[in-house]
Amino acid sequence: MQVLKTIAGLRCYLEQQRATGATVGLVPTMGALHDGHLSLIRRACQENAVVVVSIFVNPTQFGPGEDLARYPQDLDRDQRLCEQMGVDAVFAPTVSALYGSESPSPATLTQVVPPQEMMAVLCGPVRPGHFQGVATVVLKLLNLVQPHRAYFGRKDAQQLAILRRLVKDLNLAVTLVGCPIVRDQDGLALSSRNQYLTAVQRQQATALFHGLKAAKIQFQRGKCDRTALVAAVEQVLDATPDIEIDYVDLVHPYSLKPLETVDTVGLLAMAARLGKTRLIDNMLLRSRQPIIAIDGPAGAGKSTVARLVAKTLGLLYLDTGAMYRAITWQVLNLGLDPEDAVRVAELAAACTIRLASGDGNQPPQVWIDEVEVTDAIRSPDVTAQVSTIAAQPAVRQALLQQQQDYGLRGGVVMEGRDIGTHVFPDAEVKIFLTASVQERARRRQKDLLAQNQPDVSLTELEQTIQDRDRKDSTRAVAPLQQAADAVELITDGLTIPQVAENIVQVYRQTLQPAAGR
Ligand code: PAF
């Protein structure tokens, strides 16, 4: 493992790594690593070839009376943990190595200012300047490392929402992956600041989680309004000695706009003080239907299975193939050259594609700019050009945005190669559907036979499938990747309905409210 202290060293190391085409994951931390950080690192190691962990206690995100001076630091221990986890490089600069000054301040530093309305809620009013400091240091780290993915804990939900907006508003080419909160046995969310608590305070601190749990019970009983949910948390906190509430609030998890009621999804967030220690915690309350992301290699039966799962559960099958076909149809309809990447990019960015569930047996209905093209997109002309269009990064980017917009409403099933890692990294249900090369070759041979195609030997088909797998996993655009939190389903010997049934089971288990906590 490399330990890098300077920007020059980091850049040089990453240039070498990138030259090999490796995917890079970044885990930004302030050190004092605990199991929460380790869960981010574990996931980053599973999803990227090269993982960089930054360890930097960023002074610009601490306010005047805050705990910068006593923030826990143990670089040797952190490095040992990173090494054990299989991290490739730790970036641990000094303040002057990162900022070019011992005491960076808003007066001397170019800063990123997140949207005022996102800073006007939750921790923003009590921590003026904090989110400017976070956004600035994270942008610096993203610029330096240029990772494919960066990993953040959902405990800092406001930070995550602000950083997602930073990536969107400044058009950064990185996927932010939000990872679940890791809790101690008794429910307390892990935090480097838990070290400040006395034994008694540590015990009292569990009230934060108990408060959220009480609200969740109300929510499951149908109480969706702000007043009831906030009151449920406050009641538990008020009953616990020595806890002082900073805020309890209900906001939208992405926009952070205050919510009066949870229509689709809400973030119930709080901060409370125990003595001098300020702790935060939150819980996502969802009334929208979940997203099912199905990834896997070619020939694993993904699209047939996804369609069937969507039909069984009454969800929308988000057919990306149909989306690429719709753009191809529009390109041909307007007489554009499918190879003219610039014109095609402009068209893709400006068009709106709408999908509606068919009856499960039929493909979904498709509109592009409100023209219905369900049948037209199946024409031989479109079929002949769709792969040229789908290979263009700008088209994929434009569709990614539209797919993610569907995701906000929930209730979709989507299949592909990077749905769980890239399109919907926060999907509630992730499946990696695969089958042995031999099984896929047998299936392909059967298909060819059914289509009266010339007979191809199993050995030849196996070779083709292996080559395709290698290409799919290493290609630059949307490579095949299994999300670390995906359930792997090996479909050898299973029929399509059996595979679909397995997925429906996983879905139902995921949705059951966890027993206890
Ligand atoms: O969440 C943290 O530990 C910090 O805010 C971060 C993202 C590393 C920026 O300093």
- Selected residue with higher pLDDT from 74 and 47: 74
Q: Tell how far the Cα of 485 is from the centroid of ligand 1, in angstroms.
A: 23
pLDDT at residue 95 tops 50:
yes
Res 39: pLDDT: 95
> Residues 6 or more apart from 341 whose CB is under 8 A from it?
392, 394
- Provide the CATH number for the domain formed by 289-315+411-517 in this structure: 3.40.50.300
Residue reference for tokens 């060819």:
448
Res 298: pLDDT: 79
Indicate if ligand 1 lies below 6 Å from the C-beta of 30.
yes
Nearest by Cα to 498 from 433, 429, 423: 433
Nearest by Cα to 355 from 321, 395, 390, 392: 321
Indicate if ligand 1 lies below 6 Å from the C-beta of 138.
yes
pLDDT band at 501 (very low <50, low <70, confident <90, very high): very high
Residue whose CA is at the smallest distance from ligand 1 atom 1? 29
**Percent of the chain residues past pLDDT 70, beyond the cut:** 97
CA angle 182, 485, 88 (to 5 degrees): 80
Indicate if ligand 1 lies below 6 Å from the C-beta of 26.
no
**152 three-class SS:** strand
Indicate if ligand 1 lies below 6 Å from the C-beta of 28.
yes
pTM: 0.82
- Selected residue with higher pLDDT from 450 and 133: 133
Residue whose CA is at the smallest distance from ligand 1 atom 6? 29
How far, in Å, CA of 421 to CA of 293, rounded?
9
| Contact between 262 and 122 (Cβ < 8 Å) | no
Lowest mean pLDDT among 176-180, 469-473, 506-510: 469-473
Catalytic residues: 37
Indicate if ligand 1 lies below 6 Å from the C-beta of 415.
no
* Per-domain residue ranges of the chain: 2-179, 192-286, 289-315+411-517
Residue whose CA is at the smallest distance from ligand 1 atom 9? 134
Q: Tell how far the Cα of 217 is from the centroid of ligand 1, in angstroms.
A: 31
Indicate if ligand 1 lies below 6 Å from the C-beta of 24.
no
- Give one DSSP letter per residue of 76-98, joined into a string: HHHHHHHHHHT-SEEE---HHHH
- Per residue in 278-325, pLDDT tens? 999 999 998 878 899 999 987 888 888 999 999 999 898 988 889 999
How far, in Å, CA of 69 to CA of 56, rounded?
13
The pairs formed by 383-389 with CB atoms below 8 angstroms and a separation of 24 or more are 383/325, 385/328, 385/331, 385/332, 385/338, 386/321, 386/324, 386/325, 386/328, 388/338, 388/339, 389/324, 389/327, 389/328, 389/331, 389/338, 389/344
Strands 277-286 and 291-295 come out as unpaired
| Contact between 270 and 249 (Cβ < 8 Å) | yes
| Contact between 226 and 261 (Cβ < 8 Å) | yes
Ligand 1 atom having least distance to the Cα of 28 = 8
The residue type of 197 is: L
CATH class of 192-286: alpha beta
How far, in Å, CA of 179 to CA of 47, rounded?
13
Q: Tell how far the Cα of 55 is from the centroid of ligand 1, in angstroms.
A: 9
Ligand 1 atom having least distance to the Cα of 134 = 9
Q: Tell how far the Cα of 238 is from the centroid of ligand 1, in angstroms.
A: 30
Averaged pLDDT for residues 187-193: 96
- How many residues can be counted in the chain? 517
Res 358: pLDDT: 66
Q: What is the CA radius of gyration of the chain?
A: 25
How far, in Å, CA of 125 to CA of 128, rounded?
6
Measured between its terminal Cα atoms, the distance across the chain in Å is: 37
Domains 2-179 and 192-286 share a fold: no
Ligand 1 atom having least distance to the Cα of 163 = 7
Q: Tell how far the Cα of 28 is from the centroid of ligand 1, in angstroms.
A: 6
Ligand 1 atom having least distance to the Cα of 54 = 8
User: DSSP alpha helices (H): ranges in 33-147?
Assistant: 35-47, 75-85, 95-99, 116-119, 130-145
- Provide the CATH number for the domain formed by 2-179 in this structure: 3.40.50.620
Phi, psi of 443 (to 5 degrees): -60, -45
How far, in Å, CA of 147 to CA of 26, rounded?
6
Testing ligand 1's pocket by substitution, the residue of 98, 156, 190, 280 carrying the most ligand atoms inside 8 A of its CB is 156
- Per residue in 398-439, pLDDT tens? 999 899 888 888 889 999 888 998 888 889 899 999 999 999
- Per residue in 215-272, pLDDT tens? 999 998 999 999 999 999 999 999 999 999 999 999 999 999 999 999 888 999 999 9
Indicate if ligand 1 lies below 6 Å from the C-beta of 137.
yes
Ligand 1 atom having least distance to the Cα of 192 = 3
